[in-house]
Structure 1
Amino acid sequence: MASSPLLAVQHVSYQSGSQSILDDVSLAVQAGECRLITGPSGCGKSTLLKIIGGLLMPDSGTLVLNGRASDAFTPEAWRQAVGYCTQTPALFGDTVYDNLAFPWVLRQKKPDKARLRADLATVNLAEDTLEKSIQSLSGGEKQRVSLIRNLQFLPQVLLLDEITSALDEENKQTVHKLIAGLVKEQHLGVLWVTHDTSELRELGDVITLPARLKEQSEQEGCHESA
């Protein structure tokens, strides 16, 4: 008998104004599994991650983590269990250190600067990046800082939304290797939104969201999960 999923999305729908963005979406991810989410522009991929991450409330449907419905968690507990990295990271404060120290401060722990510098090195960022102003960072550097911030205290589920879009090929491969290692060794569950499944297919299977109803007649081949 298959084990219960780490995370289950059950019959989730979401509407913005009069427009249906998500219609009865269900999926699941196991611990130690990476699943890729793709589909045409505007089909609701990012909206789905925002709902799973607790940033939006669905109009209907249920999220279940380790057998517990999301409404059994406090918002803080849910955010600690479900990490969310966006394509355009929201960095704050003045420096990279301010961002990487934040998860430690929330838990009333003293940040370990040596650990922070070592973590930056895993995504090809120099040690002195820790003291850099966030205003001086490139888009790719911001994406990697955001990822490392979300990995300071490993969540159970990690949501990734086009997080390598600003990276060159070498740094993309570095991030892929890092995530693959966490999935395998730490049993992290990952949902990864991407437009380029060819570069990530070795990491997991592909879930294809359909086009929105008004677009379906113009979008072919978007109705089944691979």
Structure 2
Amino acid sequence: MSTEIPLLAVRDVSYRLAENYLLAPISFTLQAQEFAWLTGPSGSGKTTLMKIIASLLSPGTGSILFRGEDIASLAPERYRRQVSCCFQTPQLFGATVYDNLAFPWQIRQQQPDRQALLADLAQLNLPPELLDKAIDGLSGGERQRVALLRNLQFPPALLLLDEVTSALDADNKALVKQLIQQTARRHAMSVLWISHDAQETGDGARVISLAPGMETAQ
């Protein structure tokens, strides 16, 4: 039996409001450099679980361990540089796309390379003029791709994705998946990805399923 400490350990984590479970107790582990899908019916708590893992919500019961440490004991800034989350309806900030892609560099007191940012846009079929476009003028699919690229400027140890291709057509979904897989291989990044798309999840990668009343997922 391997004694390796998993990158992420979800231990009997649940969440509820009043008497209603938004997430029934669940346990699973994710190893370093592992790519896994998170699936389950509507209302099973997928997004709630992602928010708990991202330290945006505190679990009602149970604990989340990151490299063997309870995330409740970790400095939030340190943790969120290692575990990054991108949601179905992303929150963009500033005035332009450039503001969003430059932000991860600026908080590290570094200057982004404009040509590199243009190359990032091109990887996801986004035109160069989008870099200076106001965020208020972006479509849903553009917002999703910009948010993803923002998360990938400095690839985390663990990337959490919540239906990040829901507003995209099949071709652009394929580009996003390809970029994430390439980044994961290049940077030894683990990925936990919520998706309802059977074509996305039917790639042979591990699938973790949530369902009401489930306590574990394999």
Q: TM-score range by the shorter chain?
A: over 0.9
Structure 1 distance, partners of 2:8, 2:109, is: 28
Is 1:121 the counterpart of 2:122? The answer is yes
Counterpart in 1 of 2:190?
189
Separation in structure 2 between the aligned mates of residue 104 and residue 186 of structure 1, nearest angstrom = 17
User: TM-score, structure 1 length as denominator?
Assistant: 0.90
TM-score by length of 2: 0.93
CA distance in 2, matches of 1:26, 1:224: 5
Alpha carbons 1:9, 1:27 under 8 Å: kept: yes
Greater mean alpha carbon deviation, residues 81-90 or residues 101-110? 101-110
- 1:185 is aligned with what amino acid? R
Instruction: Say if 2:141 is the partner of 1:144.
Output: no
What is the distance in 2 between the residues matched to 1:187 and 1:203?
Answer: 19
* 8 Å contact kept, 1:36–1:197: no
Tell me the residue number matched to 1:209.
210
Aligned to 1:70: 71
Partner Cα separation in structure 2 for residue 31 and residue 5 of structure 1: 7
Partner Cα separation in structure 1 for residue 60 and residue 152 of structure 2: 30
Q: Which stretch shows the higher mean deviation, 58-67 or 146-155?
A: 58-67
- Give me the whole-angstrom Cα distance separating, in 2, the residues matched to 1:197 and 1:6: 26
- The aligned residue for residue 216 of structure 1 is none
One-letter amino acid of the structure 1 residue matched with residue 195 of structure 2? T
Q: What one-letter code is carried by the residue in structure 2 that aligns with 1:178?
A: L
Match of 1:40? Answer: 41
Poorly superposed stretches of 4+, deviation over 3 Å: 222-226
SS in 2 for 1:202: coil
Name whichever of 16-25 and 92-101 sits farther off. Answer: 16-25
Report 1:169-184 matches (<5 A).
169-184=170-185
Map 1:4-153 onto structure 2 (within 5 A): 4-153=5-154
Partners of 1:114 and 1:198 in 2: CA distance: 33
Change beyond 3 A, Cα 1:10–1:68: same
List per-residue Cα deviations over 1:137-171 (Å, max 9, x = no partner): 11101000000000111110000000000001110
For residues 39-65 of structure 1, the C-alpha deviation after alignment (integer angstroms, 9 at most, x for no partner) is: 110110000000001110101211111
Instruction: Please name the residue that 1:217 is paired with.
Output: none
Q: Cα distance, 1:185 vs. partner?
A: 2.7
CA distance in 2, matches of 1:59, 1:105: 35
Q: 149-158 or 123-132: which moved more?
A: 123-132
Identity of aligned residues (%): 48
CA RMSD, aligned part only?
1.7
Q: 8 Å contact 2:27–2:216 — kept in the other structure?
A: no
| Paired AA for residue 77 in structure 2 | E
Aligned-residue offset at 1:110 = 1.7
Runs of 5+ consecutive residues of structure 1 not aligned to the other structure: 214-221
Deviations, residues 64-103 of structure 1 (Å, cap 9, x unaligned): 1122221232111111111100000111111001111111
Structure 1 residues 44 and 91: CA distance shift in structure 2, 3 A: same
CA contact (8 A) 1:210 1:224 kept: no
